[in-house]
Amino acid sequence: MLKRYLSSTSAKSLASALDEKVYQVTTYARPDDLCITRGQNAKLYDDINGREYIDFTAGIAVTALGHSNPEVADIMHKQALKLVHSSNLYYNKECLDLSSKLVEKTKKFGGQFDASKVFLCNSGTEANEAALKFAKKHGITINPKKQGIIAFQNSFHGRTMGALSVTSNPKYRTPFGDLIPHVTFLNLNDELTKFNDYISSNRDKLAGLIVEPVQGEGGIFPVPADKLIGLKKICSENEVAVIYDEIQCGLGRTGKLWAHAALPKEAHPDIFTSAKALGNGFPIAATIVNDKINNALQVGDHGTTYGGNPLGSAVSKYVVDVIADEKFLSQVEAKGEIFKTRLRELQKRFPEQIKDVRGRGLIIGAEFAEPPTEVIKRARELGLLVITAGKSTARFVPALTIEDSVIEEGLEIFAKAVEAVYK
Ligand SMILES: Cc1ncc(COP(=O)(O)O)c(C=O)c1O
């Protein structure tokens, strides 16, 4: 059936696909000469222009188990024939299985030691909306004025109004006027004493604090462990719920199941969020909470039509099973080392242009002295897709299953692109 669909539509659709870009809302600037038609693990293909690309983006850290993963496709197919959707009015088996798996694997792999309950939804921003509402509800239950949220400069938490309110970038915020009130942005580079002063003197007004353990969109900045340990201590002392946004850095990307699994349990969050890799491209997200947070919630406090649907949950069960595996996770670290070693070699050749190489596992940034726009463009012309993060960082977030040889090949292309721009 698929074959027939392609043969009957391919001539028209391939030729006219790019003409149809006039129907896209003006929210993205995309290259004019690229239209993806299919993918395979860490490669993408543009059959319209007859091009093959090495993909260091994985759909922005999403397709952790590779494009067109055959097991994922098989699960989708089988589950679609069984049950796609049944609403949250009734339990469904896949949702129950996924939720218990998330809690159990989180504990087993060193994540949130008191993980207890899961809310499933459909995107990262929604997972953070839930997290913010849960933290606020917890605060308001203690005292009606305890509603404020602390977020950090350089953060990115999503584009819906709540998540946008805790996202610092003015470019994303200012066009939209009033956002949710009582949000304060602090600077992660500040000393813990400064955080302590602010939080303890505002304890009656603060419900939660949200932070990415590795800032992703902001430019790949891992937050030092001592800072997270200190922040959690201060927040616990002041009954402020700590939310870790692991939407980009979680689920194996750092070489741990969760980025916070590298921290002692005193620094574990009250709430954490996951999305992106969770469905390997199928839209699904999760907000995981401890009992302290859940005890503040009542039936009707939050909801979603699609969240936790059997199709997404079936896919995620598989994704979590594959990633929650010591061998798989150690391979992520090893692959990350190839990236860092090669990028540092390149940095030695271009010390004026490449200022820093940083990151964990397969979330790596190479910070340039200026926005690496031309490098990214040249890399694309040479057959490599890379994205930026922050103002001047090239970001490497490939499939966690990327073959070592493809990493080497892609990094050779990247080096050629840097040479071409700065030779
Ligand atoms: C850390 C973080 N939080 C939240 C989001 C928003 O996720 P989504 O685009 O699925 O809404 C992103 C997306 O890039 C992210 O990186």
pLDDT band at 7 (very low <50, low <70, confident <90, very high): very low
Dist. CA 301–CA 292, nearest whole Å: 16
Q: Are residues 196 and 237 in the same domain?
A: yes
Q: How far is the CA of 123 from the centre of ligand 1 (A)?
A: 8
Is residue 291, in this structure, part of any structural domain at all?
A: yes
Using DSSP's 3-state secondary structure scheme, residue 228 falls into: helix
How confident is the model at residue 14, as a pLDDT?
58
Which residues span the domain enclosing 393?
2-61+327-422
Residue of 28, 63, 121, 125 best suited for mutating to test ligand 1, as the one with most atoms within 8 Å of CB: 125
Q: Are residues 369 and 290 in the same domain?
A: no
Q: Give me the mean pLDDT over the 172-185 stretch.
A: 97
Tally the domains of the chain: 2
Q: Are residues 143 and 220 in the same domain?
A: yes
Q: Are residues 213 and 271 in the same domain?
A: yes
- At residue 278, what are phi and psi to the nearest 5 degrees? -55, -30
Tens-digit pLDDT profile for residues 214-236:
999 999 999 999 999 999 999 99
Dist. CA 225–CA 417, nearest whole Å: 35
Among candidate residues 26, 98, 160, the one with its CA nearest the CA of residue 324 = 98
Does ligand 1 lie within 6 Å of residue 270's CB atom? no
- Domain end position, chosen among 306, 324, 342: 324
pLDDT over 90 for what percent of the chain?
93
- Domain end position, chosen among 304, 324, 344: 324
> What's the token pair of residue 335?
């692959």
How confident is the model at residue 5, as a pLDDT?
33
Residue 15 has pLDDT above 90, yes or no: no
Q: How far is the CA of 125 from the centre of ligand 1 (A)?
A: 6
Tens-digit pLDDT profile for residues 34-78:
999 999 999 999 999 999 999 999 999 999 999 999 999 999 999
- At residue 304, what are phi and psi to the nearest 5 degrees? -165, 145
Q: Are residues 316 and 340 in the same domain?
A: no
CATH number at residue 303: 3.40.640.10
Q: Are residues 28 and 80 in the same domain?
A: no
Q: What would the DSSP string read from start to end of 196-232? A: HHHHHHTGGGEEEEEE-SEETTTT-EEPPHHHHHHHH
Burial annotation 21-54 (CB, 10 A radius, 16+ → b, else e): eeeeeeeeeeeeeebbbebebbbbbbebeebebb
Which residue has better confidence, 6 or 299?
A: 299
Does ligand 1 lie within 6 Å of residue 119's CB atom? no
pLDDT band at 289 (very low <50, low <70, confident <90, very high): very high
- Domain end position, chosen among 293, 308, 324: 324
Is residue 68, in this structure, part of any structural domain at all?
A: no
H-type alpha helices, 83-123:
93-108
Is residue 66, in this structure, part of any structural domain at all?
A: no
How confident is the model at residue 423, as a pLDDT?
87
Residue 322 neighbours by CB under 8 Å, 6+ apart: 65, 328
Does ligand 1 lie within 6 Å of residue 156's CB atom? yes
Among candidate residues 245, 278, 271, 275, the one with its CA nearest the CA of residue 157 = 245
Ligand 1 atom at minimal distance to the Cα of residue 249: 1
Is residue 67, in this structure, part of any structural domain at all?
A: no
Is residue 166, in this structure, part of any structural domain at all?
A: yes
CATH number at residue 398: 3.90.1150.10
Mean pLDDT of the chain: 95
Ligand 1 atom at minimal distance to the Cα of residue 285: 10
Q: Are residues 143 and 188 in the same domain?
A: yes
